[in-house]
A and B are shown apart, each in its own frame.
Chain A
Amino acid sequence: DQQVKQNSPSLSVQEGRISILNCDYTNSMFDYFLWYKKYPAEGPTFLISISSIKDKNEDGRFTVFLNKSAKHLSLHIVPSQPGDSAVYFCAASGGTSYGKLTFGQGTILTVHP
């Protein structure tokens, strides 16, 4: 039972354009959502998060949007840069899983110069 899903295994965008990565969840008890970025041969690194009491959180080029009624969140990267090429994981926590994260499968983002 996949509680957090990233349905797009990969995404390819041109440098300077917007990248939109999507994530859906099924557990209505989740109240905190995070995005992680992972380069090859490295561990995931935290990128940005959002609490369920908000619908948007912005940090520089990165913005996360949360639609609780649709149980959907998205990460927008504007403008995209070649250095953003990585695997992006969304993760969720809350309810009985305090302190634990449930991860999606990841989306490989490739930004072409």
Chain B
Amino acid sequence: NAGVTQTPKFRILKIGQSMTLQCTQDMNHNYMYWYRQDPGMGLKLIYYSVGAGITDKGEVPNGYNVSRSTTEDFPLRLELAAPSQTSVYFCASSYPHLGTGEQYFGPGTRLTVT
């Protein structure tokens, strides 16, 4: 199992550009999440999904959009990139109904907006 994979690993965007961060998991988890981590801060939840076709806002959703058309994929879309979106983005997945329900994280995407 590859677990949770994210692409790209790094990206530099100009202000106003848009991009999609890709996330795929092969563990058949129904829950998926997008977080951002700013320096010296914890992980802030952007959006999450409890299954294909169902998404909901987290703590910091402004400036982002998501979709969940399959169980495996949960892309994060940035429209009109702003310097405040410079951060490291982590995708995660879980099956909260079983065991400890811990989340499994991808390696992250480091995004710089200039």
Contacts and interface: CB of A to CB of B under 8 A. Distances in A.
Contacts of B108: 41-43
Given A42-B107, A89-B42, A100-B45, A34 B90 contact: no
A46 B102 contact: yes
A98 B96 contact: yes
A103 B58 contact: no
B74 interface: no
The size bracket of the interface on A is 20 to 34
A99 B90 contact: no
B40 interface: yes
Nearest to A90: B42
Nearest to A57: B100
Contacts of A101: 43, 45, 103
Contacts of A110: none
Given A4-B42, A105-B40, A99 B107 contact: no
In the A-B complex, list the 4 residue pairs whose CB atoms are closest, starting with the nearest: A43-B105, A103-B42, A99-B96, A46-B102
